[in-house]
Structure 1
Amino acid sequence: MKKILVVETNQTSYGQRAEATGLWLGETTEFVLAVQAVGYQVDYVSPKGGYVPLDPRSMKYADAASLALYRQPAFQRAALAQTLPPAAVRPQDYIAIYYAGGHGVMWDFPADAGLRQLAEVIYQQGGYVTAVCHGIAGLLNLRRPNGEYLLVNRQVTGFTTGEEVLAGKRWQVPFLNQVEVTRRGGHFVKRRPYATFAVQDGRLITGQNPFSAQAVATKLIAALAEEK
């Protein structure tokens, strides 16, 4: 059985601001718990490899299962302390790639050539490209072999402009994912703020906000099961 590659951020702050950010813990843990429960193995990669910071706000929203996983030394080592750099990853080993969010990804996901190459190869070999919340930032610059953006004419979702306003981060982020998806020819779809929502368009699966990680996993598990 091929594995699933989980992508996380190395960004510790909102650009040059002093305010801390990083990975939203539940966006990794809830997805990982779901796919591991049906037998899939996961590996963790980040743009620089190594340390992954946690958004401190995410801890108060983590459920009991997420906190139990977080406390496991093996998870802390693989997912938070010693993530793989893109150059150490063989895309042929993976059936899917999953971009976890947190505001930090807005700074280090979109322009990272190593992550982009991994995702493009996984997709071209028949794998799935998936993301939740701000993680969709990692999909913005993915391209098909013909040079066209992967998002062109695809239904996708992610953290909405309205949710950014409600979170109080509208003027702290370098761009708005909803706007950038539309600029790249994608069809951005959404539900009410902070409602659980995920959408699948072929081998592209995306979730709207932090409460949608398990929904993304559920759709991915179902899609992979249909291929067996």
Structure 2
Amino acid sequence: MQPTIKKKILIVLTNTTRYGHTNDATGLWLGEATEFAQLVQQAGYQVDYVSPKGGFVPLDPRSMKYVDDEIMAFYETPDFQERALTHSLAPNDVNSADYAAIYYAGGHGVMWDFPDNPELQALATAIYDQNGYVTAVCHGIAGLLNIQDRPDHYLIADRRVTGFTKMEERLAGKTKVVPFFNQTIATEHGAHFQKKRAYREYAVQDDRLITGQNPFSAKAVAQLLIQSLAAH
């Protein structure tokens, strides 16, 4: 009997290098990608990396202040350097049928290139429609905000979700430069936004939707996803 082949997990990363029209650098929050990827790979899943434009993925320089030995070791692997940061896939390179889940990593950069990307929305919708999981952490929820699972109905409507909160945005000192607040838009689109104390690990699952509050919640999202896929 042939062993069951596990489907892959698609990790979405930003191409945005700066906060809007400023010279303030941003990009991917490194640990949100590495910590998630490491756990799901250890569970036996292959990962692919995609970005709105494909190719180069910049790092948020502030995220480098919060690395540990584990994050640095994963960051330095040739696989991550090549497939995530240098030659990420473009959405048109991706076949949604290959994936059991999609995961939107954060970093402030995603606020500009995740919310209104129709190709990424189509991938997420296709994965969800084939009984897959749609997941995100921190600012990565920006990629979920405008997804519609049917005409004039948001995927997050009437669902429990979390993401980077307005309070955390204030503490980060970015309230005047971000184009919107994830918490506000999620609520406006009908979601039941959940939160805990700022910068505490927290993840929420509502059926096949899994979200984490902040940069310290990537592992919690991965663990919920792994458990759900194992029981699927």
Q: Determine the C-alpha separation between the residues in 1 that align with 2:79 and 2:154.
A: 37
Structure 1, unmatched stretches of 5+, are none
Match of 1:130 in 2: 135
User: Is 1:189–2:183 an aligned residue pair?
Assistant: no
Q: How many pairs were matched up?
A: 227
Q: Determine the C-alpha separation between the residues in 2 that align with 1:96 and 1:63.
A: 27
**Matches for 1:41-56 after TM superposition, within 5 Å:** 41-56=46-61
**Matches for 1:21-170 after TM superposition, within 5 Å:** 21-170=26-175
Match of 1:2 in 2: 7
Q: TM-score, normalised by structure 2?
A: 0.97
Deviation of 1:145 (Å)? 2.8
Which residue, 170, 178, 182 being the options, matches 1:173?
Answer: 178
Q: Determine the C-alpha separation between the residues in 1 that align with 2:152 and 2:10.
A: 24
Q: Deviations over 1:9-60 (max 9, x none)?
A: 0000000100000000000000001101110000000000000000011011
Q: Determine the C-alpha separation between the residues in 2 that align with 1:155 and 1:72.
A: 35
Per mean C-alpha deviation after superposition, the further-off stretch among 9-18 and 143-152 is 143-152
Q: Determine the C-alpha separation between the residues in 2 that align with 1:7 and 1:123.
A: 15
Match of 1:226 in 2: 231
Q: Deviations over 1:157-211 (max 9, x none)?
A: 0000000000000111000000000000000000000000000000000000000
Percentage identity across paired residues of the two chains = 63
| Letter paired with 1:100 | A
Q: Determine the C-alpha separation between the residues in 2 that align with 1:63 and 1:7.
A: 22
Structure 2, unmatched stretches of 5+, are 1-5
- 3-state SS in 2 of match to 1:16: coil
Deviation of 1:146 (Å)? 4.3
Match of 2:3 in 1: none
- 3-state SS in 2 of match to 1:200: strand
- 3-state SS in 2 of match to 1:199: strand
| Pair 124,147 (structure 1): closer, same or farther in 2 beyond 3 Å | farther
Deviation of 1:75 (Å)? 1.0
Q: Deviations over 1:76-118 (max 9, x none)?
A: 0001000000001000000000000000000000011110100
What is the alpha-carbon root mean square deviation over aligned residues?
Answer: 0.6
| Letter paired with 1:222 | Q
